[in-house]
Every structure is written in C-alpha cells, then in structure tokens.
Amino acid sequence: MGTRGTAWKTRATTAITRFRAADDGTAGAYAYASMAEACGRVYGWGHTWTTTYFNTVYNLRNPDGGWGLSRAYDAFGDGSVNDPQTTYTVTLADHVGMPLLAGYQAGVVPKARVQGIVDMLMAMPRVPVDRGQCVAYSTRADDAQPGYEVHNVSAGVGYFLHRAGALGLGATGMHRLITDISIHQVDAYRTADIWWPYLADGPNQDPDHQAYSAQSMYPIAYWVGREAIYKLMTTAYPDDPMSPLAHMRLVSTPGGVASWSRTHGSPITLWGELGDQWLAEASAFITNPPGGYPLTRLAQAALFCARNSGVS
C-alpha cells in the first residue's frame, strides 16, 4: 500500500473506531452494510467485525427480502406514507447491494444473496418516461407515478447491475434495462451545468447525490460520467456540509481513457491524485459528522475511505 492509500486507510480506521464507540445497535441497514465492507477492506474479509456486520444486515431484511429505512417515510411529500417495511431501490442497489457485492467478490457473501438483489431490482416498478426506462424509488406503486423519476436512484440500478453482470450474475432483460437507464440519464443530463436534476426536470441535485449519479454513469455512459466526476473532484462546495462525501466517494473511481495520472500514468488514477486535496476535508467530516444520523455519516466515511485505501 502506497502513501496515498495509507492516508485513506488511516481515515477509514478512525471512522470505524468512532462508529463502534457510538453505535447503540439502531444505526440501520445502510450503516451496518457500509461497516461490513469497510471492516472487510481494512481488517480482512474473515474478521469477526466483518462477519458480524454482514449478519446484522441479513437480520434487518424486510419480509419481501429487501431493505429500507425501518421507519415510516413520505418519499415525495404527497401524503402517501411508506410503512417501515418498505423496500427502497437505492438501499438495494447501493446502500446494501454494493457491500454485499464486494463481499461476494471476496468470497464471504453467498451468491444467492446478491442474485436476490438483482432479481428484486429487475422486478421494481418503473416510472413512465419518454425515452429509456426509469426504476422507481421504492416497491410502493405510489412512488412510481409519472414525474417521480429520481435520477441518481435509477442510475444507481444501472451501475449495480453492470457490476453484478461483470461478476457473472444476471437476469432476463438485465442488459436491456442497463441500456435503457443509460439512455434516460443521458437525456436528463444538463450539459451546460455538467449536472443532473434530482427529481424529473426539477432543480439540480446536491453534490452528494450528484456524485452517486456520476459514479453510476461512469461505466455505462463513460464520457458523461467522466465529465461529471471531474467537475466534482475539482470543485469545493463550502456551503454544503455533506459535499465531503461526494469527494470521498469518487477517489476510488477506476482509471480509463483520460482518467489516468497526467504525470505518472497507470496504475495511478487521475481521481486518486485529485483526491489528495480532499484529505483534510475528510478528516474534518469524520471528526464532526454534519447533519442528522451521525452513525450513518461515520459509516459512509468509513466505507468510502476504506475503498480509497486501494488507490496508488
């Protein structure tokens, strides 16, 4: 591990330590899945903490086999309150799905658990759109109405399915869905802003959600995703306390055409180099997580920094 990876691993270790000290057992599936992958990457996939966190995630499944918030939530403020056992698309594809996919790749998560997520995402409702397809926000029909397309959520489904497909998992119609998601998201992309709206054709989303969109589009619409990542990684957002998560998320982005180090080339990525300027920002975030849900914020930071420990 090089100096850069060590710097990120140190921050991951700090975030893990702070999470474990504050955890009261109610952090939720997102936090515990993030901790499972973070501990796997930092301490080893066979470490007792890694195993315990994965088992905690399994035990938090909804009756339908998915995961969500474990609390009532009106996703669109329209009065249709989702019950605590509602399964959410982003929880399947990113919050829980990506850590389980990493665990599967490492040989500690059974294939059936990841295939189950693939199958659930393929069965999620769709929001009607003019071109391509948009996967709905949750399993609830009320969250699949026209105009309820949440761009980062649907893009994230394409990303997860792409990653799952690369590991040999699949489902009938999966490649068509990835294609259609990419078409819809390219249509929604605002070229002048190098940005996506959050909902339908509404205001631009915040940097944290934008980073998830950019990360998701990078492998399925490369140049669009690359430009969005470059803007995020070269821009400070001092008025948005959650923006450090955007920078932390994107440091581990793989290299590619015009995405390797400009001075050293492969295996050093442009994104790893650009991440150096955000190390102090990440430390400050871990020391004092902003906003609500501090355990989830620490778990997110632990996960992203652990992923970044692999950069050269």
Give the DSSP letter string of 16-30: HHHHHHH--S-S-HH
Contact 266, 257 (CB under 8 A): no
Tell me the average pLDDT across 202-223: 98
Class level of CATH domain 65-287 = mainly alpha
Give the DSSP letter string of 87-107: -BHHIIIIITHHHHHHHHHHT
Q: Taking the domains of the chain in order of start, what are their residue ranges?
A: 65-287
Q: Rounded to whole angstroms, what are the CA distances from 254 to 189, 272, 277?
A: 22, 9, 18
User: Where do we find the tokens 């998201």?
Assistant: 185
Contact 190, 218 (CB under 8 A): no
> Which residues does residue 134 pair with via DSSP β-bridges, in sequence order?
127
- Residue 243: which residues within 8 A CB-CB, separation 6 or more? 206, 207, 208, 236, 237
What is the spatial distance between Cα 15 and Cα 57, in angstroms, rounded to a whole number? 19
Contact 25, 59 (CB under 8 A): no
The confidence band for 202, taking pLDDT boundaries of 50, 70 and 90, is very high
25-46: pLDDT as tens digits: 999 999 999 999 999 999 999 9
Residue 20 φ/ψ region, left for φ over 0, alpha for ψ in the -120 to 50 degree band, beta for the rest: alpha
50-106: pLDDT as tens digits: 999 999 999 999 999 999 999 999 999 999 999 999 999 999 999 999 999 999 999
pLDDT, position 1: 72
**Nearest Cα to Cα of residue 150 among 119, 196, 187:** 196
Tell me the average pLDDT across 214-219: 98
The confidence band for 156, taking pLDDT boundaries of 50, 70 and 90, is very high
Q: Which two tokens stand for residue 77?
A: 């403020």
Strand pairing report for 134-135 and 126-127? antiparallel
Contact 19, 35 (CB under 8 A): yes
3-state DSSP assignment of residue 195: strand
226-235: pLDDT as tens digits: 999 999 999 9
Give the DSSP letter string of 165-194: HHTT---TTHHHHHHHHHHHHHHH-BTTTT
Share of the chain above pLDDT 90, in %: 99
Other beta carbons within 10 angstroms of residue 125's beta carbon come to 18
247-275: pLDDT as tens digits: 999 999 999 999 999 999 999 999 999 99
Share of the chain above pLDDT 70, in %: 100
Q: Rounded to whole angstroms, what are the CA distances from 28 to 33, 67, 208, 247?
A: 9, 10, 20, 24
Contact 33, 301 (CB under 8 A): no
pLDDT, position 291: 87
Contact 212, 228 (CB under 8 A): no
